[in-house]
Amino acid sequence: MKLLFCNHCTDVFRLFVDHPKTCHCGKTRGQYEEDGLHAWYQGPGTPLGFANASFLTAISNQPERGWGREFTAFVIQEDCDTFVKQEGDTTITRTAE
């Protein structure tokens, strides 16, 4: 799973195929391509990844109390074929939802 961390507002968010997603401040945005594997992002963001199997195992083994299960998360490398940073203006005017 690909996520973005906005270095400006510290929002963390996941991406969608059908439309670009933005952080709270609107300075970082990204979107999955149609294939659901490749994605792009713009702005002062840091790309993050979750190891899907590890994440799903942690969710399915969530304890009732105490510390939750750990899972593997990582910062995606800057030069990544499946998550490409695009240059350009990224500020989006937020609309009421």
Residue 69's nearest CA partner among 47, 85, 82, 53 is 53
Task: Say what the pLDDT of residue 22 is.
Answer: 97
Residue 11's nearest CA partner among 33, 39, 36, 43 is 43
Alpha-helical runs (H) found in 1-97: 52-60
pTM above 0.85, yes or no: no
Task: Say what the pLDDT of residue 56 is.
Answer: 96
Task: Say what the pLDDT of residue 9 is.
Answer: 98
Task: Say what the pLDDT of residue 27 is.
Answer: 96
Cα separation, 92 vs 60, in Å, equals: 36
* Positions of the chain with pLDDT lower than 50, given as ranges: 90-97
Task: Report in angstroms the alpha-carbon separations of 69 from 1, 14, 58, 63, 91.
Answer: 18, 21, 5, 8, 36
Task: Say what the pLDDT of residue 87 is.
Answer: 85
Task: Say what the pLDDT of residue 49 is.
Answer: 94
